[in-house]
Amino acid sequence: MDAIPPEQPVRHGDRDRPGHNSGWWVVVSVIAAATAGVVAVLVPPSTAAVVVGMTMMAVGAGLVLAGQRRMYRENRGEQLPWLGSPPNSPRRWDCLQGTGGPMLMFGTLPVARTLESVPILALPFGITAAFVVITALTQILHNRGAVGALPERQISGSSPPARRRR
């Protein structure tokens, strides 16, 4: 009796692939980032400006971290290059990271302008530096784990690896 070939998922073209960005999502995210920038620049220094800035920073950080986490999950078991796109990148443009990054950076402006004891560029540069360091550390840990975990990874649907006898 012949072996039955494994089932393949049904593909309905490029439109149904996971992570496909339709054009209107990109337009909405760019408009959201530009609006956040305009609000950050035009809000006069006040307590409300600090609240708006802190909210923008929290939302932006959450969006960027969600995008990073999704990228690490999609590339589980593979090393990520320091320059260039990851090996498994189903999106042409990531709306989470593309909107969250500018929103995080623009959120620092009203907070920095309201705090008069801190130079106006110290807060944006400090948060940017901290964010770059955190992102670099998570990529180092991902690549380190990818090297150690690669041989023992199991592809879904395959049989478990054979145990070694001692």
pLDDT per position as a tens digit, 126-135: 888 888 888 8
Say what the pLDDT of residue 41 is: 80
Joined together, the tokens standing for residue 97 give: 């990271």
* E strand intervals along 7-157: none
Return the ∠ at Cα 36 (arms to 34 and 42), rounded to 5°: 100
Would you state the pLDDT for residue 163? 54
Please tell me whether the overall predicted TM-score, pTM, comes out greater than 0.75 for this model.
Answer: no
Q: Are 95 and 21 within 8 A, CB to CB? A: yes
User: Rounded to 10 degrees, what is the CA torsion of 46, 48, 54, 56?
Assistant: -120
CA count, 13 A, side-chain hemisphere, 5:
3
The pLDDT of residue 16 is 46
Task: Render each residue's pLDDT in the chain as its tens digit; 166 residues.
Answer: 677 777 766 554 444 445 555 677 778 877 888 887 888 788 888 888 888 888 988 988 888 888 888 888 888 888 888 887 788 877 777 778 888 888 888 888 888 888 776 676 777 788 888 888 888 888 888 888 776 544 444 445 555 555 555 5
